[in-house]
Every structure is written in structure tokens, then in C-alpha cells.
Amino acid sequence: MVNHYKILKVSPKASNAEIKSAYRRLARKLHPDLNKNGENTSRDFARISKAYEILGNPKQRAVYDQELLKVQYSNSSKTNSVFSSDNLHARRWRQMAYERRYNEIIDRMIADERRESMALQKIIFPVVGLFISTGFVAMFKPKFWAQAQPIGKIVLFSLFVIGLIHLFKRLRTAFERYTYRNENLHEWIFDESKIIEKPYTRLTAISFLIVGIGISLSVGLLVGNYLELFITSTMPNLFSSSLKPEFVFYPPIFVLLVDLMHSFASNMD
């Protein structure tokens, strides 16, 4: 059985980052466009690409590790060492080693999936929070800023700045992790992993945000027009009949609060 770990020159316990780094290093070294050795280089490049295709995907890697473990376990029982004998204690030792390694594979797969899920949640929650808060602000048209005392305005403005910075960091992380620039297509020749990990163009992501905010704003205004009489008559000091410039304050603050609650809930798990 082909040992993809040896091809990439990494340990079977290597992290995803280490596997990615090893692939990039070898891809730059062996890419046919940079070498004149022709057939040998192309064959080696194909091998490391296949190895990364399997080891770079947590689920495929887990399946591969299980198959590799079975082969290693089977081979160990055919050698002439003390541990490979048919002795009851040797068989028990091999079974324990097999189960321990298998559990390590499963634990690593679960940990990788959890990290990926948490990374995705840190992007989804702020974006969804931004859309929802935009819709609600357009619907209710709050005027907390206008009604607040000086200390209240300081608090609101401080939360707005913190929320804006927080939202910018979250969006920047999302863009770096899941999007690519069209002008960087040529770089994929030397780093094919980007094709797998970054499925969306930068323009697509920006368009999604703009359209999402536009739809949220439109829906909020539409629903707000139907509820305007009820909202303004119930709490006229808190809600306005038209959008004010202070509208921009609230979505970043809402996103910040939602993310804080999500982080707290995640730490409690």
C-alpha cells in the first residue's frame, strides 16, 4: 500500500497545517514548469498531489489511516519478532496497539471537524447577525442615540467602534479562508490546495454581503411601513418613523453581542 506520509515526508501524527506546508514546499520544488527533468518530475509531482488530495481532507485521511493501520497490523503479524508471534500475550499486545492507534485516528478526525465547524461558525454568526440586525433596525428605526444622555452616547459609540473592528476582523478572516482573487489564479500552479480550500471568488463574497444587506434593509423597511403606526404609537421615544444616520451604529453592536454570547455558549460546552 502506498504510504502517502512518506511521499510528503511528514509524520502520521502531523497536523493539517504541517501536511499543507509540506505539500506546498514539495509542489514548488517539483512542479514541471520549474524543472526540466520532464517525466520523473511530472511523476513525482503527481504523487505528492495525490498524497495531499487524501491527507489534506480530514475524512479521506481518516479512512486512509484506518486502511494503512490494517495493513501495518497485518504485516506485523507475519514478521518473526517476539511481538508478532502467535502467543496469546503478543496477539493481545498487537490488538491493544491497533485499538489505541485507531482511537487516535478517530479523535483526530473529530478534533479536525470540530475546529473546522468552529471556524465556520465564527464566520456564519457575524454575517447572519449583520443581516438580521440590519433588517430589525430598518423595521423599528430606533433612536437610542438621540435619546441617550452624554454618558450613554459615549457607551454606544464605544460599542460601535469595538463592534465595527470585531466585524471587520471576522469578515477579513472569512475572506482569507474561503475566497480568492481572480488575479491569483496563476499562483495555483504552485499551490493547488487553494482551489480546494477557497471555493469562492472575492467578488462573489462581496456581492453576497452587499445583496444580503440590501435585501435585509428592504424587507425591514417594507415590514416597518406596515407596523409603523403600531411601533411609533407604542414607544414614540424609542422608535422613529424614518431612518436616522444613527442607524449605522446598531448592526455592529448587535453582531458583537451575538458573537460574545456564542463564544460564551461554546466555552460552556
Label each residue of 34-76 as H, E or C.
Answer: HCCCCHHHHHHHHHHHHHHHHHCCHHHHHHHHHHHHHHHHHHH
Q: What is the pLDDT of residue 235?
A: 64
Q: What is the pLDDT of residue 84?
A: 52
Q: Give me the long-range contacts of 68-77 (CB less than 8 A, separation at least 24).
A: 68/1, 68/3, 68/12, 69/98, 69/101, 69/102, 69/105, 71/1, 73/97, 73/98
Contact assessment for residue 166 and residue 256, using Cβ atoms and an 8 Å cutoff: yes
Domain boundaries, the chain: 4-108, 115-268
Contact assessment for residue 131 and residue 213, using Cβ atoms and an 8 Å cutoff: yes
Mean pLDDT per 10-residue segment, the chain (269 residues):
87 82 82 63 83 84 80 62 56 68 72 78 90 91 86 93 94 85 49 54 90 94 80 66 84 91 75
DSSP calls for 168-223? HHHHHHHHHHHEE-GGGGGGGGT-THHHHH--EEHHHHHHHHHHHHHHHHHHHHHH
Give the right CATH number for 4-108 from 3.40.50.2000, 3.40.50.11030, 3.90.1150.10, 1.10.287.110.
1.10.287.110
**Which three cell numbers mark 164?**
465595527
Gap between the Cα atoms of 213 and 130, Å rounded: 8
pTM: 0.63
Q: What is the pLDDT of residue 22?
A: 86
Contact assessment for residue 48 and residue 8, using Cβ atoms and an 8 Å cutoff: yes
Contact assessment for residue 192 and residue 185, using Cβ atoms and an 8 Å cutoff: no
Which 3 state secondary structure label does DSSP give 239?
strand
Instruction: From residue 112, give the alpha-carbon distance in Å to each of 56, 62, 259.
Output: 11, 10, 22
144: part of which helix (H) or strand (E)? helix 144-147
Q: What is the pLDDT of residue 157?
A: 94
Contact assessment for residue 58 and residue 113, using Cβ atoms and an 8 Å cutoff: yes
Which 3 state secondary structure label does DSSP give 142?
strand
